Amino acid sequence: MQARPKVLFISSWYPSVLRPTEGNFVQQHIKAAQLVADVALVHVVLSSEHPELTHELKTSKDLFLNKRVVIFSLPGAFTPTCSTFQVPGFEAAYDEIRSLGIDEVYVVSVNDAFVMRKWMIDQKVEKIKALPDGNADFTTGMGMLVNKKNLGFGYRSWRYAAVIKDCIVERMFVEPGIMDLAPGDPYGETHPDMVVEYLKSVV
């Protein structure tokens, strides 16, 4: 029997405060040189050696302070673009990204930890780490929460990526057209190649 991959999950702990928006609201997202959202997170580890789930309360500072990390966020687990291109792309680029001065690579989604767990196993992920933002606290703090009710998704994250150093945004990559009730879901600016290109330019 094939051993299950070791996967790291982090799920938001505090209840969220959603934006009461229903129209074509254009979001103002966090920008370079700004602090990332500081929220409490539950750190969940699953491994083939220890199949039981263990939980540890963390904060954004625990994860990002004194580190340089890449995060990328997407609308939802098991969705086509995320499953076919974005997650496999960052998984494949993981070693190269780490070699360019990055301590860790995280995927963020407004999903609960159980859904993210199943998705990472389904994707055969072994390297990138999953950050379930079930309450949307982190996504809200990053200014990336959008209304996707027109697609039956409720509130989700707009697609973005970021390089974060010592809890401060070094570089943001945001897909164009961020807004509530957006008709489309572009993918290009947040491709791992874009992140790698930037990291190479600042080595």
Q: Are strands 129-132 and 145-147 parallel, antiparallel or unpaired?
A: unpaired
Cα–Cα dist 42/10, whole Å: 5
Q: Classify domain 7-14+27-201 at the CATH topology level.
A: Glutaredoxin (3.40.30)
From 10, 30, 82, 107, the catalytic residue: 82
The angle formed by the CA atoms of residues 126, 130 and 136, to the nearest 5 degrees, is 170
pLDDT of 69: 97
Cα–Cα dist 102/84, whole Å: 24
**82 counts as catalytic:** yes
User: Which amino acid makes up residue 195?
Assistant: V
pLDDT of 48: 55
Whole-angstrom CA distances from 42 to 22, 104, 199 are 30, 17, 29
Q: Are 173 and 159 in contact (CB under 8 A)?
A: no
pLDDT of 14: 36
- With H, G, I as helix, E, B as strand and everything else as coil, classify residue 203: coil
**The model's pTM:** 0.83
Cα–Cα dist 62/39, whole Å: 10
Residue 60 phi, psi dihedral angles, 5° rounding:
-55, -40
pLDDT of 22: 46
Q: What is the pLDDT of residues 60-106, one digit of tens each?
A: 888 899 999 999 999 999 998 999 999 999 999 999 999 999 999 99
Q: Are 121 and 2 in contact (CB under 8 A)?
A: no
Q: Average pLDDT by consecutive 10-residue portion of the chain (203 residues)?
A: 45 41 51 72 55 63 93 93 94 98 94 85 90 88 90 91 94 92 90 97 92
Q: What is the 8-class DSSP label of residue 117?
A: H
